[in-house]
Chain A
Amino acid sequence: MDEGTEMSLTIAQLVRRLKGSHLHAQMERQARECLHQPEIQLESLKDDVRRFLRTSGWERKLQNAVHRELLISRLPPSFPAPPPEHLKEPLAYMRKAQASWERRILKSLNSMSTELGVPLARMRPVAEQQELSNKWNEMGTDEPDLSRFRPVYAPKDFLEVVVSLRSPNHDSGGDVGARSHWGLIHVPLDVKDITQLRGVYTELGLAEGQLGIDDNAHPDLFENNYIDIGKKALAEQDGAAAQQYSRRGCPTGLRADLWALILNLVNQPQDAMHYEQLKAGVLQHDLLVDKLISKDVKLTASNDDYYFVFEDFLYQVLLCFSRDAAILEHFKYNSATPPKSYIQGKEEDEDFAVFYPPNGVIPFHGFSMYVAPLCFLYNEPSKLYSVFREMYTRYFFRLHSISSACSGIVSLCLLFERLLQTHLPQLFYHLRQIGAQPLRIAFKWMVRAFSGYLCTDQLLFLWDRILGYDSLEPVAVLAAAIFAFRTENLMEVTSLASAEAVLADLSTLKVMPLIQIFLFAV
């Protein structure tokens, strides 16, 4: 397709997606109200209204919305459009593997419901609804008996599925010598090598100042000036500029606003209303998934030194998250499919088909750790919820679904293994020989984007870069960099258990120097 046609198609798609949105309604209202102003002339109405929208900041808001839509739709437009399943995941065998994995999860959930005698969903009696509403802000004080419940799956179960992926057309016979891959991932996805990574992540270079490294020096050398630039980006309300800025880290005082700007979540009053509606959904219906969420929070975040104080927030966010039907939109570009069910007694009647849970996402062991770090940035539940939802539908969903996307967990695993094999072959070979495949240790870090493994300020530096580069590749690079950092100790271990012990505690690590040295100084 030529460039002109592609541009027209892209514009048509963007207009269709933004039409009817809250921004569209707001801009129309503003355009109507500005007609009263004296400088709007009838002869030059169109230009005057456009100028008004530009000077009053509405054009910038539109730019931010367009920027967001362009980031979300990763495939270029084509005419005619490929079938919907191709947009979810281009490779048929990956779609099949994902579907097969989902069937296992659904079977597990069905058995849990049957064995425990707990319905998947039930309407709460009014008294129970009132009781829950009264203790909404302190659900953490509740100690329900969750001993019978177990997480549906843990990252290590998912790892086995990822490791067993095979490309049916891939001829790996006679794969010996230097070309052979020592790792666990056997699908030939396109991942970047160090040279390509250096080309993409130039802002992390040795000659570039950034937070996480240069803020340890005297503030006048870098930090003060950098904070001023951040304030300017916020004043301009420029989402693309904020994203570029975030590549070198966000100052603590500006991070919350910068992330909200990058995610295009600024001044959205309808978010508070939406949150209240979701809360009403939580009060009205009790789901089995709620027990899984509670179990997960109790097992992970509540036991974490940094995050246990946010237990109440986590319930408020995650319970509402599971009621949010708007999240079903993201399944257009997610290889996963939301689980379907039917209202009792109306099986096979499509008019009574529903998704379960309403947002289509079944939480796994460690899921609450996606939310926990955000509690340091946002203390207002509806804002915290909006940011988490946007982070999940842009990035985190890729960490627990099988796809060929370059930020998908399969690509991240392959990137990690390739970096390790190429740059630390002796270490990789040694670990492989003792039965300690590096991915078996690093997988749990990557699935959680390191949440719960790094100390929070370092984790937030890493997530700054995820937002700044709109990619999860820094997660895989950090995993390889950690192995590089602990090479000497790892070369002396003789078992998987001892290798895991060497890498058990990452809380003292400084992530940006590790990534910088690994990418630019190895």
Chain B
Amino acid sequence: MSAATTEDVACTIKPPVFLGFRSGTRERPSGVCVVDVVLPPGKTVDIERISFKNFYTAFLSIRLQRRSPGREGAPAKWCTALRDCPLMKNPHTEGGAHDYYNLHRKQLQVSADEVSCVRLILKQPSWSWSSFGVEDVRVYPRAPPPEPDKELSEWLLALETVDPPVQGPAVDAAGVSRSLQQMWALSQVMQASQTSTASVGRFDVDGCYDIQSLSLT
């Protein structure tokens, strides 16, 4: 899982823009908010995943501004990568309101390569909530593919071409005994090294359990 060790890309998260519509002189909320995640100027990223923590957003759409591949100097184009992905089971209730999300590139409808800006369009149609948004947005780049280990693959190929053993009448008793002994030794090692998850722990400290008061912090 190389993605775990990848650092997120340094980017600027613009303040959320809540869209409203004017009704006379009053601005009424529309339940739609836009958050732009902008990479440093001139930089693009091949996105592996986008992670964030939800805060009462019901639906998420993502648009990506991508440089057109193979067309240097051409203006970057916007495309929709995700449309109305539900983040909350029910927009009026708490389920999913504080959940952590990881959107992998495979879940996006377009290839998330050479992206210069990520636009998160957040929707919360319910009037139940005072505010909504997303927190701690991080964009993780694609890790470069690992170098193939030529020596290892040659060894593996060599193993695969070994002929299956011939079922002859004669059995090498010493060989079988050696194999069984090796397996026995292996199982002993495994048993010794395993740690018990169901630990029946003692609750005292060296037999002492004299307590004055409970800690309130």
List chain A positions with a Cβ less than 8 A from chain B. Answer: 1-2, 5, 16-22, 24-25, 28, 31-32, 35, 42-43, 78-80, 82, 86, 90-92, 103, 106-107, 109-110, 113-114, 119-123, 167, 169-172, 187-190, 274, 277, 281, 285, 323, 325-326, 339-344, 347, 351-352, 354-356, 358, 404
Chain A residues with Cβ below 8 Å from B132 are: 169
Which among A24, A35, A106, A358 is the interface contact of B194 at CB below 8 angstroms? A24
B210 contacts A187, CB within 8 Å? no
A120 contacts B215, CB within 8 Å? no
Chain A residues with Cβ below 8 Å from B97 are: 90-91, 169
A169 contacts B194, CB within 8 Å? no
Which chain B residue shows the least CB distance to A187? Answer: B94
A42 contacts B98, CB within 8 Å? no
Interface string of B18-32 (1 = CB under 8 A from A): 000000000000000
Q: How near does chain A come to B96, taking the closest CB pair, in angstroms?
A: 8
B211 contacts A121, CB within 8 Å? yes
Q: How many residues of B contact A (CB 8 A)?
A: 58
Q: Is B4 an interface residue (CB 8 A)?
A: yes
CA distance A2 to B205 in the complex (A): 46
CA distance A281 to B212 in the complex (A): 19
Given A18-B197, A106-B216, A343-B205, 11 other A-B contacts at CB below 8 A? Answer: A31-B187, A90-B98, A107-B216, A113-B213, A190-B90, A326-B198, A340-B214, A340-B215, A347-B212, A354-B203, A354-B211
B176 contacts A42, CB within 8 Å? yes
Which chain B residue shows the least CB distance to A352? Answer: B205
B199 contacts A343, CB within 8 Å? no
List chain B positions with a Cβ less than 8 A from chain A. Answer: 1, 3-4, 51, 55-56, 89-90, 92-95, 97-100, 102, 104, 106-107, 127-132, 165, 167, 176, 179-180, 183-184, 187, 190-191, 194-205, 207-216
CA distance A187 to B210 in the complex (A): 41
Given contacts A343-B208, A354-B204, A356-B214, contact A170 B130 (CB under 8 A): yes
Given contacts A80-B102, A106-B216, A188-B94, contact A122 B200 (CB under 8 A): no
Q: How near does chain A come to B184, taking the closest CB pair, in angstroms?
A: 7
Which among B98, B128, B179, B196 is the interface contact of A170 at CB below 8 angstroms? B128
A354 contacts B205, CB within 8 Å? yes
B200 contacts A277, CB within 8 Å? yes
Which chain B residue shows the least CB distance to A113? Answer: B213
B102 contacts A110, CB within 8 Å? no
Please, could you name 11 A-B residue pairs with CB atoms under 8 Å apart, sorted by A? A2-B104, A19-B197, A20-B194, A24-B194, A90-B98, A114-B213, A120-B211, A120-B213, A188-B94, A341-B211, A344-B212
Which chain A residue shows the least CB distance to B96? Answer: A90
Helix, strand, loop or mixed for chain B's interface? loop
CA distance A31 to B190 in the complex (A): 13
Given contacts A21-B198, A190-B90, contact A325 B215 (CB under 8 A): no
CA distance A357 to B132 in the complex (A): 41
Q: How near does chain A come to B172, taking the closest CB pair, in angstroms?
A: 10
Given contacts A20-B196, A171-B127, contact A110 B4 (CB under 8 A): no
Chain A residues with Cβ below 8 Å from B89 are: 190
Q: How near does chain B come to A404, taking the closest CB pair, in angstroms?
A: 6
A79 contacts B102, CB within 8 Å? yes
Q: How near does chain B come to A358, taking the closest CB pair, in angstroms?
A: 3
CA distance A91 to B165 in the complex (A): 61
A110 contacts B213, CB within 8 Å? yes
CA distance A80 to B92 in the complex (A): 28
Chain B residues with Cβ below 8 Å from A352 are: 205
Q: How near does chain B come to A54, taking the closest CB pair, in angstroms?
A: 20
Which among A78, A190, A339, A343 is the interface contact of B214 at CB below 8 angstroms? A339
Chain B residues with Cβ below 8 Å from A171 are: 127-130
CA distance A103 to B132 in the complex (A): 31
Given contacts A78-B102, A120-B211, contact A189 B203 (CB under 8 A): no
Chain A residues with Cβ below 8 Å from B98 are: 86, 90-92
